[in-house]
Amino acid sequence: MRYIREMLLVMVLVFSCSESSDIAKYEPVSVEVEMPSNFPDMVYNMDNNPITEAGFELGKDLFYEGKLSSNNAIACAFCHEQAFAFTHHGHNLSHGVDGGVGTRNAQPIQNLAYQTSFMWDGAATHLDLQPIIPLTSEVEMNETLSNVISKLEADTDYQDKFARAFEDGEVNTENMLKALSQFMVMMVSSNSKYDKYVRNEDNVTFTALETDGLNTFNNKCATCHATDLFSDQSFRNNGLPINPLLDDKGSYDILENTEDLYKFKVPSLRNVVVTYPYMHDGRFTTLEAVLDFYDNGAIDNGNVDPLLLREDGSYGITLSDYEKESLIAFLNTLTDTEFLEDERFAEF
């Protein structure tokens, strides 16, 4: 009898010990970040925010977390759906909490660690700080940083996840933003047919139409859609007619410099086939409409990029029907199915 009692006591002790060791603690298991050989150098400084398994997982949870918005329903993923390279499927403008409607088309989330600025107007220059914009925007998530943190702090799951992801284990804004960056830094799209073609992988070859498209692209598009990121990361006015309803002045809003009027960031063309609709306000629903615009739709709105000035004084890029057809065939080679279906980034 006494023996059993002692056994029980030992068991209780052992049990309580094992329970205390279950408390979440920092587990810095580092994760290798893909750096494709055909990409320029990474811009994001991972020394300040090393990517770990737990940090990445926390970032993913936060990306799909409705609590980041004031009605607890609008997660980042609401406007950034994986199947569409993390854009808002079919929406020219996106809607946030309480029926708010934004003024610009949701941009894809891919290869952000390689970008020098974010948003259509470059309003964010550090990836860590970018999420503050949608999170606090009234027409998007309409929250405050401190309120989001109190919601996360009240959740024991998140307490554990933050403890595992960060050395100080604190549920705070710094760690929330770092986790989101870790998730986004990992989101690299670099395995399209085009990538495999330029890296000579898997014996991938281009059809004659795709090759012609690539040549036309290099001759007529690649000055702005430069490098294998397909953007020179500059801000340019491409001669879109002004939508008076939105009267979006683009990067002019940042410095209020008239030289920046109607300039928007040159978007990457990766996965462009699935990221429709196009342009900063999503006015074009097809790539054909985009190419037709460059061929004969641009207007002189006062500050059009001189690169688009044609000999006859008009703005645009002259494209024959065949050039358009082949360009679209080429643009189709930029679709990276591995990325669009990568389970590491998927909600479920």
Partner 1 sequence: MKLLKYTFALLACAIFTNCSIDNDDNEEDLSGETGELILKFDNSVGDQDFIFETSYSKSNNESFKLTNVKYIISNVRVTDTEGNTFTYPTEENVFIVSELNGNNAGEIYITLNDIDAADYTEITFGIGIDQERFALGADGQGDFLDLASEEGMMWSWASGYKFVRFDGTFSTDTVTDEPLNIHMGSVGEALDNYREVTLSFPNTVLVREENSPEVHIVADISKVFDGATTVNFADGYDQVHTDETETPIIASNVQTMFEVHHVHND
Q: Which residue numbers belong to the known binding site for heme c?
A: 76, 79-80, 221, 224-225
Q: Which residues contact 258 (CB under 8 A, 6 or more apart)?
A: 252, 303
Structure tokens that stand for 258 in this block = 């008239």
Contact pick of 34, 151, 173, 332 for partner 1 (by CB under 8 A): 173
Spell 1-27 as b/e; 16+ CB within 10 A means b: eeeeeeeeeeeeeeeeeeeeeeebeee
Contact pick of 58, 77, 127, 165 for partner 1 (by CB under 8 A): 127
Whose structure tokens read 């009027």? 261
Verify binding: residue 332, partner 1, rule CB under 8 A: no
Q: Among 78-86, 185-193, 248-256, 288-296, which window interacts with partner 1 (CB under 8 A)? A: 248-256
The DSSP line for 171-211 is -SHHHHHHHHHHHHHH-----SHHHHHHTT-TT----HHHH
Verify binding: residue 137, partner 1, rule CB under 8 A: yes
Contact pick of 24, 222, 246, 254 for partner 1 (by CB under 8 A): 254
> Closer CB to partner 1, residue 135 or residue 214?
135
Work out the angle at residue 321's Cα, subtended by the Cα atoms of residues 320 and 326, and round it to the nearest 5 degrees: 100
Binding residues: 76, 79-80, 221, 224-225
Contact pick of 16, 30, 38, 45 for partner 1 (by CB under 8 A): 45
Contact pick of 66, 95, 172, 226 for partner 1 (by CB under 8 A): 172
Residue 84: CB minimum distance to partner 1, A = 25
The DSSP line for 236-264 is E---PPP-TTT---BTHHHH--GGGTTBE
Residues that bind partner 1 (CB under 8 A): 45, 48-49, 117, 119, 122-130, 132-133, 136-138, 144-146, 149, 172-175, 177-178, 181, 253-257
